[in-house]
Amino acid sequence: MTSPVRKISDKIPEPTLRRLPWYLSCAKLMRSQGEKYVSSTQISRQINIDASQVAKDLSYVAVSGRTRVGYDIDCLISVLEDFLGFTNLHKAYLFGVGSLGAALLQDTGLSHFGLEIVGAFDIDSSKVGTSIAGIPVYHTDKFPEIMKKSDVNIGILTVPISIAQEITDYMVEGGIKAVWNFTPFRIRVPEDIVVQNTSLYAHLAVMFNRLNEELKRQ
């Protein structure tokens, strides 16, 4: 039986929010291997995070474990999915059907984490009017008209950096309430708009820097 989800605090540390999906994926993997229970120690070994940190993070979702046994895996998965919002399907529009945008349209895994891309926008005439993975591609000019008839509030930004702010403003003016920004440009939005920056290039820079440091030690 699933325990009720109870948030300990309205403001959860962002690092904790970033780690919770790791715990969820770990629990799902262990369940697929036939496990019924999982402990903080087991999770910590799988993803190389201190067990005390795992336990502290899980305290935010108020899921209780049994001493020397751990957490019921089915319960933990259910509680985490509900807490993270993965059980509710959030619809999104994608702007910029380049190589990255097209790849995201074809990523069926997003729906398992509560995100459904229902339409894409671009100005390239060779792409407008087509569909990718069953998702229609519209001309960007059609966004205000289409938005009025939809219940979408998330915009995914995969456009060239030169028009990142312009398209962001366009989305917000049209009614988008949250922007998932994949460009390396730090977009500006009103205070009531949620922004999540996910720059692949920034992560590359971190990886290259760490790699160079390791190579210097050899």
Give the residue extent of every domain in the chain. Answer: 14-84, 90-202
Report helix angle 51-58 to 14-32, nearest 10.
100
CATH topology agreement for domains 14-84 and 90-202: no
- How many separate helices (H) and strands (E) can be counted in the chain? 8, 9
Per-residue pLDDT, averaged over 98-116, amounts to: 94
Using alpha carbons, select from 1, 15, 3, 26 the residue that is nearest to residue 79: 3
Q: Are 80 and 61 in contact (CB under 8 A)?
A: yes
Residue 113 has pLDDT above 70, yes or no: yes
Q: Is the pLDDT of residue 2 over 50?
A: no
CATH topology of domain 90-202: Rossmann fold (3.40.50)
State pLDDT tens for residues 117-159. 999 999 999 999 999 999 999 999 999 999 999 999 999 999 9
The CATH number fitting domain 14-84, selected from 2.30.140.10, 2.60.34.10, 3.40.50.300, 1.10.10.10: 1.10.10.10
pLDDT tens digits along 172-201: 999 999 999 999 999 999 999 999 999 888
Round to whole Å and give the CA distance between 192 and 30: 39
CA–CA separation, 110 and 72 (whole Å): 25
CB 106 within 8 A of CB 138: no
Element (H, E) at 91: strand 90-95
- The residue assigned the tokens 């910590």 is 44
Which of 128-149 are b and which e, b meaning 16 or more Cβ less than 10 Å from the residue's Cβ? beeebeebebbebeebeebbee
Element holding 169 (H helix, E strand): helix 164-174
